[in-house]
Structure 1
Amino acid sequence: MRIIAGRHRGRVLRSPDGEATRPTADRVRQALFDMLWHAAWGGRTAVHDQLVLDAFAGTGALGLEALSRGADHCTFIERDRAALNVLRANIGACKEEARTAVLAADATKPPPARVPCGLVFLDPPYGKGLVPLALDGLAAAGWIAPGALVVAETGEGETLDLPGYEMLATRSHGAATVHVLRAPGGGGN
């Protein structure tokens, strides 16, 4: 697993041993960031200069990719101890300590946000219905800016019914389905 593009292009990222963490594959991240950059609802500002939240962060691949591509700051939320150790090592390898914060927390019951984020990544374990729970918790804690882009990865065949969120795109990549939504409010980009 590596960073695909930007200032950290080619940087190899570690991942923890075992099955507890399932990093987003390089080809899925490439397709996702291409979509964010080139879709009519996306563009350069979808990532560049954004405050990013990477919830269920695991290795941090999504947030670190966003930083590599010009995001201002990324907050990572992860609760698994092994994943947290690898996440911190990956941040250090990219020398991104100054533009990141790591919270050892449950993304469905996060601590209050200091500032809401305009780009939110959710990559929870598949098949557990965690995306709606996390969105409710993150919104209540102030993590999601009005009109933010939310990228949620689910298992193949999982559907999302999220009242108030506008579904912008859904793409299947093998066992993964990537959903891009716009949070309520803000009117979009």
Structure 2
Amino acid sequence: MKAMPGRIRIIGGHLRNSRLDVPDLPGLRPTAERVRETLFNWLAPTIAGVRVLDLCAGTGALGIEALSRGAAAAQFVEPDGRAMDALRSNLARLKADGGEVVQADALGFLRRQPQSFGLVFLDPPFASQLWTTLAQKLEEGGWLAPAAQVYVESPKGVEPAVPANWALHREGHAGDVRYALYRRTGQAPIR
């Protein structure tokens, strides 16, 4: 259940009710407003001051929502030039300090020198089926803070395999989407 291309709104924080322009691109699925509301209710006690990675950013709605609610910084990773331009334009128009956009595909980005993030949004295009691969790269590559939280969005009925040290904190369903929040509980066992 996704918002249609055009405009979506930020639902909380200092940017509440601000609109994001959304380009009409194949496969772009902005996370539905009610899903974002539920997710950020779950994150409310821990969002302030956290460093965020919006790994498959698309519209950047998740990362911008995090900035609006007090995240210290958000890095947005997006390979599509049109989506990236719209994201940069939205960040500039909203004066969303702390947002940095990187043009790269998620796998290529995770081959770079790692940085530590306390919250990661993992919502790749459903057709790519990259959840498990990206989750492993995040864990093994040193991208996650010791108690990091990772949000995973997938089609309803699909529960991606995640590292053994990611404990499911909460999950829900909306329309044809499953959304889940995991908490990292320590180092993954070496295989």
TM-score by length of 1: 0.87
Determine the C-alpha separation between the residues in 1 that align with 2:144 and 2:35: 23
Tell me how many residue pairs correspond in the alignment: 178
Counterpart amino acid of residue 58 in structure 1: G
Gaps of 5+ in 1: 38-43
SS of the counterpart of 1:13?
Answer: strand
Q: List aligned pairs for 1:26-175, cutoff 5 A.
A: 26-37=33-44, 44=45, 46-96=46-96, 98-110=97-109, 111-113=111-113, 115-164=115-164, 165-175=166-176
Matched-pair contact (CA < 8 Å) for 1:108–1:135? no
How far apart are residue 53 of structure 1 and its match? 0.5
Q: Deviations over 1:48-85 (max 9, x none)?
A: 11000101101110000000000000001111111111
Matched-pair contact (CA < 8 Å) for 2:114–2:141? no
Gaps of 5+ in 2: 1-7
Across the aligned residues of Structure 1 and Structure 2, the Cα RMSD in angstroms comes to 1.7
Counterpart amino acid of residue 173 in structure 1: A
Q: Deviations over 1:93-145 (max 9, x none)?
A: 2112x412111112123243563000110111115321111122233443221
Per mean C-alpha deviation after superposition, the further-off stretch among 136-145 and 172-181 is 136-145
Percent of counterpart pairs with the same letter?
Answer: 39
1:2: which partner in 2? 9
Determine the C-alpha separation between the residues in 1 that align with 2:27 and 2:82: 9
Determine the C-alpha separation between the residues in 1 that align with 2:134 and 2:168: 17
Q: Does 1:180 align with 2:181?
A: yes
Moved over 4 A (4+): none
SS of the counterpart of 2:92?
Answer: helix
Matched-pair contact (CA < 8 Å) for 1:63–1:76? yes
